[in-house]
């Protein structure tokens, strides 16, 4: 789909009253109107429901060195861990038994035969227990086609790999040499080609990022025909090199920008699954609920054992690091109800965008 066909309200106002280089805030009423439009689209396509994915952050060992990430290889202040196969299966079982409908297995990026085989073994066990009734999503970074294929055969069917920013130049500024935007894009296309339901996303408020970049991010999601989108505010981690650069610091501004991105993305891709991310809650105690009202339809509650959670701080101020999964579950149910939504308990909830009939 050509860019000119996009009906983005960003595009409508750019050049008239907003300076695209400065990421000005939308006036409050305009943001509210935009969110209401996006929410109406979300309820029309998906209902007043929220799908859950139990997030298992099973290892923080990472060979990558992204300049913004708290668990980057060079951060010596992190205690490294990897959960055992039994622990991962147990966490996934907890999510399934508590009717979360789907799990996401996430870790730092490792490309080795040992790691591929380890994940393969875990997948076979989880898939063996629940078959296709439990959604299994992976978020394990850039891998070869062969590895992605093995994991798919072992039971995974969705994959999350954020492009981080659709602007190649900005991408190269926030990653060290050797990290390639093109390779990441190639991975996304390979995943799609292998039949995975594919998710991507970006960070919002990166140093040097412009409003035009964010507009292009949404075009990227459309052009790459992705099924799932996860976006969150960039939050400077003090142990990372990028923290020296000035990001958009004001939390209110970051929140408004993120809500605006969620709403614009919902309007651009009505049938995608869009996550209301934990990072949103890090900048506002009600951030995730606001994300739902901006058109998101997925929440990813953490089901990682509490003893590991403080070692998986991609960004500072990550919420729920001290909470047992049980507590998160009831807290979440209350929060979702508070905005008039219901949890789609026990539903695998694949994105409508990925269904063959569309």
Ranges within 219-258 binding ligand 5AD (CB under 6 A): 232, 234-235, 237
Can you tell me the distance from the alpha carbon of 338 to that of 333, in angstroms, rounded to the nearest whole number? 9
Q: Which is nearer to ligand 5AD, 107 or 354 (CB)?
A: 107
Q: How far apart are the first and last CA of the chain?
A: 16
Candidates 61-69, 145-153, 231-239, 290-298 — which segment interacts with ligand FES by CB under 6 A?
Answer: 61-69
Can you tell me the distance from the alpha carbon of 225 to that of 217, in angstroms, rounded to the nearest whole number? 12
Distances (CA, A) of 219 to 145, 185, 216, 257, 285: 25, 14, 5, 17, 30
Among 52, 54, 67, 164, binds ligand 5AD (CB under 6 A): 164
Residue 268 site contact among ligand FES, ligand 5AD, none (CB < 5 to 8 Å, cut-off depends on kind): none
Candidates 66-74, 115-123, 198-206, 212-220 — which segment interacts with ligand FES by CB under 6 A?
Answer: 66-74
User: Which positions from 266 to 295 touch ligand 5AD by CB under 6 A, shown as an x/- string?
Assistant: -------------x----------------
Partner residues linked to 135 by β-bridges: 102
Residue 127 site contact among ligand 5AD, ligand FES, none (CB < 5 to 8 Å, cut-off depends on kind): none
- The two tokens of residue 63 are 């060979």
Among 42, 162, 290, 329, binds ligand 5AD (CB under 6 A): 162
Tell me how far, at minimum, the Cβ of 110 lies from ligand FES, in Å: 11
Can you tell me the distance from the alpha carbon of 176 to that of 147, in angstroms, rounded to the nearest whole number? 24
Can you tell me the distance from the alpha carbon of 298 to that of 50, in angstroms, rounded to the nearest whole number? 5
**Per CB under 6 A, does 214 bind ligand 5AD?**
no
Q: Where are the beta strands (DSSP E) in the chain?
A: 49-52, 54-59, 102-107, 135-139, 158-160, 197-200, 203-204, 228-233, 273-276, 298-299, 342-343
Can you tell me the distance from the alpha carbon of 306 to that of 310, in angstroms, rounded to the nearest whole number? 8
Can you tell me the distance from the alpha carbon of 35 to that of 78, in angstroms, rounded to the nearest whole number? 38
Q: Which is nearer to ligand FES, 69 or 255 (CB)?
A: 69
- The two tokens of residue 164 are 């981080």
Q: Which is nearer to ligand FES, 160 or 214 (CB)?
A: 160
Residue 71 site contact among ligand FES, ligand 5AD, none (CB < 5 to 8 Å, cut-off depends on kind): ligand FES
For residue 251, the tally of other CB atoms under 10 A from its CB is 16
Q: For residue 349, which of 166, 134, 86, 41 has the smallest C-alpha distance?
A: 134
**Per CB under 6 A, does 71 bind ligand FES?**
yes
Burial class of residue 169 in the structure, from the number of CB atoms within 10 Å of its CB (0-12 exposed, 13-18 middle, 19+ buried): exposed
Residue 308 site contact among ligand 5AD, ligand FES, none (CB < 5 to 8 Å, cut-off depends on kind): none
Residue 64 site contact among ligand 5AD, ligand FES, none (CB < 5 to 8 Å, cut-off depends on kind): ligand FES
**Per CB under 6 A, does 72 bind ligand FES?**
yes
Can you tell me the distance from the alpha carbon of 357 to that of 336, in angstroms, rounded to the nearest whole number? 30
Q: Which is nearer to ligand 5AD, 69 or 214 (CB)?
A: 69
Q: For residue 90, which of 56, 133, 132, 135 has the smallest C-alpha distance?
A: 56
Size of the site for ligand 5AD (CB under 6 A): 12
Residue 203 site contact among ligand FES, ligand 5AD, none (CB < 5 to 8 Å, cut-off depends on kind): ligand 5AD
Tell me how far, at minimum, the Cβ of 294 lies from ligand 5AD, in Å: 18
Which residues here bind ligand 5AD, judged by CB under 6 A?
68-69, 162, 164, 203, 232, 234-235, 237, 279, 314-315
Residues that bind ligand FES (CB under 6 A): 62, 64, 66, 69, 71-72
């Amino acid at each position: 789909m050509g860019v000119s066909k996009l009906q983005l309200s960003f595009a409508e106002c750019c050049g008239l009253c907003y300076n695209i280089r400065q990421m000005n805030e939308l006036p409050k009423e305009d943001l509210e109107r935009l969110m209401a439009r996006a929410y109406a689209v979300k309820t029309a396509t998906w209902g007043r429901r929220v799908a859950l994915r139990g997030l298992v952050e099973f290892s923080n060992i990472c060979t990558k060195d992204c300049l913004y990430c708290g668990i980057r290889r060079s951060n010596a202040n992190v205690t490294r861990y990897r959960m055992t196969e039994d622990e991962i299966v147990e966490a996934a079982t907890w999510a399934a038994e508590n009717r979360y409908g789907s799990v996401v297995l996430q870790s730092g990026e490792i490309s080795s035969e040992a790691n591929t085989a380890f994940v393969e073994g875990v997948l076979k066990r989880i898939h063996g227990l629940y078959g296709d009734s439990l959604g299994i999503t992976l978020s394990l970074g850039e891998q070869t086609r062969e590895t992605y294929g093995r994991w798919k055969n072992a039971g995974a069917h969705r994959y999350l790999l954020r492009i981080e920013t659709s602007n190649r130049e900005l991408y190269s500024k926030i990653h060290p040499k050797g990290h390639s935007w093109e390779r990441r894009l190639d991975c996304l296309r390979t995943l799609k080609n292998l039949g995975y339901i594919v998710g991507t996303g970006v960070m919002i408020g990166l140093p040097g990022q412009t409003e035009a970049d964010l507009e292009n991010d949404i075009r990227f999601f459309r052009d790459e025909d992705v099924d799932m989108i996860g976006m969150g505010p960039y939050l400077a981690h003090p142990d990372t090199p990028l923290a020296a650069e000035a990001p958009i610091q004001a939390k209110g501004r970051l929140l408004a920008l993120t809500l605006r991105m969620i709403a614009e993305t919902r309007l651009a891709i009505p049938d995608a699954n869009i996550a209301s991310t934990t990072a949103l809650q890090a900048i506002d105690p009600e951030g995730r609920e606001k994300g739902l009202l901006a058109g998101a339809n997925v929440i990813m509650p953490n089901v990682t054992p509490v003893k590991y959670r403080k070692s998986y701080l991609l960004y500072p101020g990550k919420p729920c690091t001290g909470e047992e999964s049980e507590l998160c579950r009831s807290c979440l149910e209350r929060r979702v109800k508070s905005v008039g939504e219901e949890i789609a308990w026990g539903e695998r909830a694949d994105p409508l965008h990925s269904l063959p009939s569309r």
